[in-house]
Structure 1
Amino acid sequence: MRRGVSFQIPNEYGNYLWKILKPFNVGNYLWKMGGESYFVIDGELDYEKFLLDNSVIEGADLASRLRNNQYYAIFVELRAYPLGKVVNQINTYEEFMNSECELVLLLVDSSYVSIYCKDINVVEKLYLNALKNEFEDVKFITDENDVRTSLTVW
């Protein structure tokens, strides 16, 4: 069974998270976020954090932030919960499958992206979107090839 998609993005600043999530309706969810990412202003790294650790943001606000800014993402965890549902911590794939969370995006070392999604149609769209954006090493994450023991970047 397909769990999600993985690929590599360029190790540079931009708005890659927006490009990655374009097939997913970001605005319809609450997002639990964490990791290490910074704004880029006039081509220079600004040490103001772009995504705040362990905070929850409404989807419209996250979509605007991802689309309208330049940022350098080093480690990122984004979890999408339907509006009005309980936002809780998820550490394993089993916890993800038994939770209200619909999508988990993990970015490691500025390049390595793994996305887990419960909707197989969205998984297919994310896969095709990654190919369209010419990301590298695009493949499906399946029950057979998933080597992750946790859905965290730390």
Structure 2
Amino acid sequence: MRGLSFEIPNRYGQFLLDILNAFDFKNYFWKTGGEEAYYIENDKLGSPLFPKPYLYTGDAFYKRISETDYYLIFADLKAFPDPLHVRDFTSYEQFLNSQCEFVLLLVDCSYVTIYAKDQQVLKALHDQAIASKYENVSYITDENDSRTTFEIF
């Protein structure tokens, strides 16, 4: 198994927190880049959830995704155990050869694709997606992975 795909509701909430609570995501450094996601302020889109590409500690990342609701449009999030080995990559093979442990890509407000090196994490994420009643939950395998790049645009 390479990963997992599913659809979240196209509305605001704390979906990143709900998804990531399936494992101890605060133990990682989170690289953001190219997100379009906004906090909800007075029932409208407000300030950016991730103002610019940045590297967050697990605690800082947790704080951003747990304090208030937000609306996700696009997201490219990568988790690294060590900030010294953070780097960009654009393919599954590069992911495997990197220190990155986890990738979450979200496009068009609803379509989530996750890649994780740890099979236990994938199983926990799958169970969490089912429990959250997300739609079209399925594993990504060597045979059915049609993604050619890890870019969201």
- Please state which band the TM-score falls in when normalised by the shorter chain: over 0.9
Q: Verify the 8 A CA contact 1:85 1:100 in the aligned structure 2.
A: no
**Local SS of the residue matching 1:32:** strand
Runs of 4+, deviation exceeding 2 Å: none
Tell me the residue number matched to 1:14.
13
1:114 aligns with 2:113: yes
Tell me the residue number matched to 1:40.
40
Q: Distance in 2 between matches of 1:123 and 1:99?
A: 18
Q: Distance in 1 between matches of 2:80 and 2:62?
A: 14
| Cα offset, 1:127, TM superposition | 0.3
Equivalent residue runs for 1:66-85 within 5 Å = 66-85=65-84
Indicate how the Cα distance of structure 1 residues 84 and 74 shifts in structure 2: closer, same or farther if over 3 A, else same: closer
Tell me the residue number matched to 1:27.
26
Q: Deviations over 1:2-30 (max 9, x none)?
A: 00110000001110011011112121111
Structure 1: unaligned runs, 5 residues or longer: none
Q: Verify the 8 A CA contact 1:50 1:71 in the aligned structure 2.
A: yes
User: How many residue pairs end up in the alignment?
Assistant: 152
Q: Distance in 2 between matches of 1:51 and 1:24?
A: 21
Tell me the residue number matched to 2:141.
142
**Local SS of the residue matching 2:74:** strand
| Cα offset, 1:53, TM superposition | 3.3
Alignment RMSD, CA only? 1.0
Percent sequence identity is: 42
**TM-score relative to the length of structure 2:** 0.96
Q: Distance in 1 between matches of 2:131 and 2:36?
A: 27
Give 1 or 2: higher strand fraction.
1
| Cα offset, 1:84, TM superposition | 4.2
Q: Distance in 2 between matches of 1:147 and 1:20?
A: 22
Q: Distance in 2 between matches of 1:66 and 1:127?
A: 20
Tell me the residue number matched to 2:98.
99
